[in-house]
Amino acid sequence: METKIFKPQEISQAAALLRQGELVSFPTETVYGLGAVVNNEASVKAVYQAKGRPSDNPLIVHVDSPDMVWHYAAKNADALALMKAFWPGPLTIILPILPGSLLPCVTGGLQTAAFRMPNSPATLALIRETGIPIVGPSANTSGKPSPTTAQHVYHDLGGKIAGILDDGPTKVGLESTVIDLSVKPAAILRPGYINADDLAPIIGAVETEQHHVKANEVPKAPGMKYKHYAPSAQVLIVRQQQDFTAAVQNELTKADRPLGVLAFDQQLAQLNSSANSHQILTYSLGENITTAAQDLFAGLRFFDDHPQVKVILAAGVTEEKLGLAYMNRLRKAAGGQFYQK
Ligand code: TXA
Ligand code: MG
């Protein structure tokens, strides 16, 4: 099938395709999503199929307003307060659903569902024109880094979906924070741009424990158990307190060349003045954690375009605030592996 690229002024064409049951990728402030109307079972199943996603991993229901949520979940004071503070924005809220209001293929058979109002005028208009929420996992092949540009989506899903609404690169770059309000205390199931300190003044202390899900355990967010974000090369995380240049020089004595390097501008500047700079292939994370969050997935994808790179050294950061979300994704990309001297 031909995958059409739509500009924001062509939203009504994209909405028409969605209403016909086709799949259309949409932009958000975090990553691109893979959209289908929430009430069409065949379309929702096609989303799993296009991504190669396990069918027990539920989808986020994207809405154009808080009001749209209350067709599927009972009104909830904490949820309303969070929506008021952070929507539209990178916060996904899990709520118990009204029985039978959503297809089991949307919820993975759970009695809860994830709701999100993305901060993208184009996508809010798309949902409004479609007239019904759209499900939207990240629009990548399952297991690969999430897409932060329409080109990334095309790379993974071109030919498999009807369209992509292109509104340029995403701004946050990491997927939304997922907060579970179906449990007490509320729990962050996936860290993101909005952190526990942002949420606490509104709903009180939240659970933030990041635990690793065992094979026989039912995870709180089913997506947590799967391999994620992994490029073909092995990623090794260099801890923030380690000397990055020394790590690269040491790794060059062990690994195949070129060695992949995913690092901040300052670290790259130091490396470029070192003797072995011609034996490395670099991708910049920019100047700070904000740019690093924006660029992480594009960087991981960059090395997939250079299959001669077998090992990537990637810059670690302090695990607080946005750094917690960055490290959560990077740890998964690395399969938990850190650079060792
Ligand atoms: O930023 C984002 O959230 C992006 C954009 C496109 O909105 N979407 C996204 O969707 O990251 P996805 O499907 O890749 O991640 C959704 C996560 C998964 O880990 C899933 O297991 C979890 O949310 N989830 C969905 N419904 C859930 C539920 N009822 N209970 C627990 N976890 C749930
Ligand atoms: Mg995803």
Under 8 Å between Cβ of 226 and 57:
yes
Residue 133, token pair as written in the block? 């929420």
Cα–Cα distance measured from residue 320 to residue 280, given in angstroms and rounded to the nearest whole number: 29
Distance 113 CA to ligand 1 centre (A): 9
pLDDT tens track for 89-104: 999 999 999 999 999 9
Under 8 Å between Cβ of 117 and 65:
yes
3-state helix, strand, coil split of the chain in percent (to 5) is: 35, 20, 45
Which residues are 280's β-sheet partners?
A: 259
CB half-sphere exposure, 98, CA atoms < 13 A? 9
For residue 224, what pLDDT is reported? 56
- Ordered by start, the domain boundaries in the chain are 4-207, 234-334
Q: Is 113 in the pocket of ligand 1 (CB under 6 A)?
A: yes
Q: Is 156 in the pocket of ligand 1 (CB under 6 A)?
A: no
Ligand nearest to the CA of 144: 2
Cα–Cα distance measured from residue 27 to residue 31, given in angstroms and rounded to the nearest whole number: 7
Is 205's pLDDT higher than 60?
Answer: yes
The one-character DSSP state at 263 is E
The angle subtended at Cα 112 by Cα 107 and Cα 115, nearest 5°, is 80
The one-character DSSP state at 316 is -
pLDDT tens track for 140-196: 999 999 999 999 999 999 999 999 999 999 999 999 999 999 999 999 999 999 999
Is 218's pLDDT higher than 70?
Answer: no
Residues 6+ apart with CB under 8 A from 275: none
Please tell us whether the domain made up of 4-207 is placed in CATH 3.90.870.10. yes
pLDDT tens track for 48-73: 999 999 888 999 999 999 999 999 99
Ligand 1 atom at minimal distance to the Cα of residue 34 = 6
Residue 195, token pair as written in the block? 């952190």
For residue 127, what pLDDT is reported? 98
Which of 42-51, 198-207, 222-231 shows the lowest per-residue confidence on average (mean pLDDT)?
Answer: 222-231
Phi, psi of 284 (to 5 degrees): -85, 135
Q: Is 223 in the pocket of ligand 1 (CB under 6 A)?
A: yes
pLDDT band at 277 (very low <50, low <70, confident <90, very high): confident
Assigned superfamily of 234-334: Threonylcarbamoyl-AMP synthase, C-terminal domain (3.40.50.11030)
Ligand nearest to the CA of 34: 1
Q: Is 192 in the pocket of ligand 1 (CB under 6 A)?
A: no
Which residues are 338's β-sheet partners?
A: 237
